[in-house]
Amino acid sequence: GQQVMQIPQYQHVQEGEDFTTYCNSSTTLSNIQWYKQRPGGHPVFLIQLVKSGEVKKQKRLTFQFGEAKKNSSLHITATQTTDVGTYFCSGGGGADGLTFGKGTHLIIQP
């Protein structure tokens, strides 16, 4: 299946700072999905992007899908302690969509 790469693997921020994680693919993706996993929990779906150049917002979270549909980003404005966790991306349709990036661990220092 398609492989997506995520960077960075770990990100430490001070509470209130912004945070961005990136998801990159070597092939064009039909769609991309983002998930969040709280410590000790299970991954939970956040959003799906389908269109080239698409931008979606959920409160302080902004998701972008690249023009070439090969990369995506998740940006959090003014992080809060509730944002702690691991953020995963998954790309492609069908069985390809079953493969995840290794995730970005967000650690927030109060």
Of residues 2, 25, 71, 90, which one binds another protein by CB under 8 A? 90
Burial class, 46, CB count within 10 angstroms (exposed 0-12 / middle 13-18 / buried 19+)? middle
- For another protein, the binding residues in 47-66 under the rule CB under 8 A are 48, 50
Q: Phi and psi (nearest 5°) for 95?
A: -65, -25
Q: Which of 43, 60, 77, 84 binds another protein (CB under 8 A)?
A: 43
Amino acid letter for position 24: N
Judged by beta carbon, residue 17 or residue 47, the one nearer another protein is 47
Considering only 76, 92, 106, 108, the residue that binds another protein (CB under 8 A) is: 92
